[in-house]
Every structure is written in C-alpha cells, then in structure tokens.
Structure 1
Amino acid sequence: MSAPVSDHPTIDNAVLSARGLTRAFPHPDGPLPVLRGVDLDVAPGELVTVSGRSGSGKSALFALLCGFDKPDTGTVTVCGTVLRAAPAWSDCAVLPQALGLAAELTLQENAALPLRLTGQSDVEDRVADVLGELGIGHLGDRYPTEVSYGQQQRAALARAAVARPSVLLADEPTAHLDHGSVPAVLGVLRRVADAGTAVLIATHHDQVHRIADRRLSLVEGRIDYSAT
C-alpha cells in the first residue's frame, strides 16, 4: 500500500531542497527500495524534524542530503547549487550517527577542525564557547576514546555548530545522551536555527520534536505531509 502523501509545500527561499529522491539498495531478492520519491524544503532559520520507524529511510535520506551518498534519481540543492559531491562544511555541516570524530585529535581539536581547515579566526574562543554550552568544556583536552559515547556525540555536534553553516543535518542527536544532557543539545540546535541556519533533524524523541518549527514524517519511503 502506498504511503498517504499530500502535496509538497514549496518554500521559495529554501536553502536545502530535495526533489524526487529515490534510493534502493542491493538485496538477494532484487533491489530493495528505501526512498520512493522524497520532496522537501527547509528555509534559513527553520528547525524541522523528521520522524519515522526504524528502517523507514531517515539515515538513507540524510546521507543523500549531505552528499555522503548519491540518489538513484532526483536532486538535492544546497545554497542554490545542485549537489554532486559533499558540500563545504560552511554550506552543510553534519552530525551523523557514526559521529566521525578523529581518534588522534582531542575533542577540542575535533570541534575546531572545520574552522582550522578554512583558516578562520577566533577558533579557540568559538570552540570553547560551544563545548561549554554543551557541558563538555572541561573535557576538551581528552581524546574520543577517553570519554563516553554521549560526550563524543556532543563534541560532534559542537564541530557542526561552530562552523555556523547554512545547513545543519543532525541524525538522532539525542540517541546516546543521558536525560540531563538533552536540554543543552536542544538549546544549541535551537540557537543555531535562530541564528539563520536551516536545521533538519532525524529523531524519534518527543523532546526534539517540541522545539521544531515543523515536524515531518517519513512513511514507506516518502514524506507524509498530511501528518504535519
């Protein structure tokens, strides 16, 4: 049965757009469709959450939106440019489920990496501010293997937020956090959006949905706009 999908509402000033995204993965019985024609827009300063059952395609969608993977059909546009490879971190910063922290760098060095690579100023102050906001400022000189996975996740969020990107994608940003750490993470995500970044979050946590401007649902590989 096809997913109950209403018309996609176009946003004229969207900084992140997807049109007709499809993706299937190899399977012994033939290609397994995961995304079946996803359309979405996110505007500057907007925080949008995407929910869906495990296996609904949320992570697959985020991999396409940030250029980690390529769609079988359809296009992704970031900052007015059709995505053909992973964009600059200043255009689209990512908090993936795998985190992707460099084991040989401290948490502070990991968070500072996007700024160092682009030669930006005030790196130490900007990183210290975000790490402190996330409650891990005292752990900045530790390596990822020396802290909990939840603390690593906050460091990965700091790395994305400190870049002040046009788009920030966060895949399950509260999945590994203790209850007391969640408000700080939500505060950073909301602040980043309020500063003008388009923030898109895949989550199944009601706490995250409560800070959103819009909530979308991924059903059978499509965005169900009738549920928003």
Structure 2
Amino acid sequence: MIQACGVHRAFGGVSVLRGVDLAVAAGELVTLSGPSGSGKTALLSLLCGFDFPDSGSVRPGLASWSACAVLPQSLGLASELTLEENVALPLRLAGREVSGVGALLAELGIGELGSRYPAQVSFGQQQRAALARAVVTRPAVLLADEPTAHLDAASAVAAVGVLRRVADEGAAVLIATHHDAVHAVADRVLVLSDGQVRG
C-alpha cells in the first residue's frame, strides 16, 4: 500500500498540492488524471521519495522503498546498456536470478530488440523497455507517469495488459495518465485538480 496524508507542496511560491489525501491498496490499479500542470508528476515524485512534501506525509505502507518501482516520463534507461541489460539490471542489483527478461520484452512487442541500445530504437520502444524494467522484479508498489504516452494503439494494449497483470498479482499500482485505455482497466479513476485529488 502507498499513502499520502494531507500533502502540501509549493514551487516558487505557487501552491501545487493542497492537502492531498490518497491511498492505493495492494492489488489495486488506480489512475490519476488532470490537466497539464496540475501536479500529477509532482505527486508521484513525493510518493516515490524523489521529493519531499512541505507538510503532510507519505509512506510506502508494508512495502519498503526497495520494493517500489518507478516509471518516470524521462525513462532513465542506461545508454551504455542494451535493452535486455537495462531490464535485467534491477534483478542483478537485487542479487536475484536473471530470468523472464526475454519473455517480458516479447510480451511488449520488442523481443527482437533486446540486443540494441536505447539510442538505436524509437522513444516508444524505449518506453516499453522501461516498463519491462519497472515490473521485472514484481514490485509491491508501482508508480508510473504517462507510461503509454508515446505508444501506438497496439503497443498501448500490450502495455496496459502488463500494468493490469502487475496489480492482479498483488501490487499497488498508481498511474498518471491521459489515456482512456489505461483508465478503462483501472479499479478507480482519480482526478487531480486545483491541488486536490477527487474521485
């Protein structure tokens, strides 16, 4: 579970988040929509520990931060590693057996690109590799920021299927998105507007 309680955050004197309360339970997929600049990315940054609230609190619940996977818009793939190596990296860092990487890439439609480097594939293909990297360890919590923004319809369907499966396997999943296909598989759809979450 992941939770925000009374979270406030301002940037440059502008209050972006104004007393946000939010909870996502294990096994639940929740989507977060809202206009551009409403604070969706800011809220995800607070929830994953990349930033800190001015007041209020966030907590990872029963999941430690090491069990929390993040898929930012910037993706963060290592340019010196192949796609396959990027996806395997969290497993290696955790000292776990490297398995299932090829199958996950294939499920996302990029199985034949595993030996290529990020600069050698499209941004949409990079985005799918970053999604695979985020879920390969079967995290207890997944926070994703616009994970289908650069995908065509067929690729988005595959990505949505993976996201839904992660939740069905017991993870708490929160996704900031404008994509109707993602909202369609959500257990709840929340809206961030005027600094508060509703829904």
1:22 and 2:4 are equivalent in the alignment: no
| Alpha-carbon distance, 1:78 to partner | 0.5
1:25 partner letter: F
Instruction: Report SS of the residue matched to 2:133.
Output: helix
Give the 5 Å matches for 1:76-115: 76-80=58-62, 87-88=65-66, 91-115=67-91
RMSD of aligned alpha carbons: 1.1
The structure 1 residue matched to 2:166, chosen from 192, 206, 221, is 192
User: Counterpart of 2:53?
Assistant: 71
- The separation in 2 between residues aligned to 1:183 and 1:70, in whole angstroms, is 34
- The separation in 2 between residues aligned to 1:38 and 1:113, in whole angstroms, is 34
Instruction: Report SS of the residue matched to 1:41.
Output: strand
- The separation in 2 between residues aligned to 1:155 and 1:205, in whole angstroms, is 19
Structure 1 unmatched runs, 5+: 1-14
| Alpha-carbon distance, 1:79 to partner | 3.0
Count of residue pairs brought into register by the alignment = 199
Structure 2 unmatched runs, 5+: none
Structure-1-length-normalised TM-score: 0.85
Whichever of the two has the greater Rg, that structure is 1
Q: Percent identity?
A: 65
2:38 partner letter: S
- The separation in 2 between residues aligned to 1:80 and 1:183, in whole angstroms, is 30
User: Counterpart of 2:95?
Assistant: 119
| Alpha-carbon distance, 1:77 to partner | 0.9
Indicate if the aligned counterparts of 1:50 and 1:203 stay in contact, CA closer than 8 A.
yes
| Alpha-carbon distance, 1:50 to partner | 0.4
- The separation in 1 between residues aligned to 2:107 and 2:47, in whole angstroms, is 27
| Alpha-carbon distance, 1:194 to partner | 0.5
Instruction: Report SS of the residue matched to 1:61.
Output: helix
Which ranges of 4 or more aligned residues in structure 1 deviate by more than 6 Å?
none
Instruction: Report SS of the residue matched to 1:110.
Output: helix
- The separation in 2 between residues aligned to 1:21 and 1:95, in whole angstroms, is 22
Give the 5 Å matches for 1:125-144: 125-144=99-118
| Alpha-carbon distance, 1:222 to partner | 0.6
